[in-house]
């Protein structure tokens, strides 16, 4: 899994835009949205790390193509 800075910035800006639009368009939910924004900001790093580790772990279960060719040559 490759970390692409451009994609991360775009996702962060899109998330911020959606939250700002919701805060502006739904004044009756501003208190709830404020709490949601604070919780989301504090959980975004741990959740992204969890998903990244799962992505790396699922890729580690697959046999590497180079290992297969090396094994075939030794036999």
How confident is the model over 19-62, as pLDDT tens digits? Answer: 889 889 988 988 888 888 888 878 877 777 777 777 777 666 56
Q: Supply the pLDDT for residue 15.
A: 82
Residues 6+ apart with CB under 8 A from 1: 52, 55, 56, 59
Query: What's the chain's length in residues?
Result: 75
- Could you list the residue range(s) of the whole structural domain that residue 58 is in? 5-74
| Arithmetic mean of pLDDT, 12-20 | 84
| Nearest-angstrom CA–CA distance, 19 and 10 | 14
Closest C-alpha among 8, 5, 30 to residue 20: 30
Q: Supply the pLDDT for residue 39.
A: 86
Question: Taking the model in full, what pTM does it have?
Answer: 0.47
CA max distance for the chain:
71
Q: Supply the pLDDT for residue 59.
A: 62
Name the residue with higher pLDDT: 71 or 19.
19
- If one counts the domains in the chain, the total is 1
């Amino acid at each position: 899994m490759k970390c692409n800075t451009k994609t991360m910035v775009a996702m962060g800006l899109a998330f911020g835009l959606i939250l700002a639009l919701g805060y502006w368009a739904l004044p009756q939910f501003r208190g709830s949205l404020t709490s949601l924004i604070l919780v989301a900001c504090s959980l975004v790093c741990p959740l992204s790390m969890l998903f990244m580790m799962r992505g790396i772990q699922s890729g580690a279960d697959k046999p590497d193509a180079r290992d297969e060719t090396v094994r075939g040559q030794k036999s």
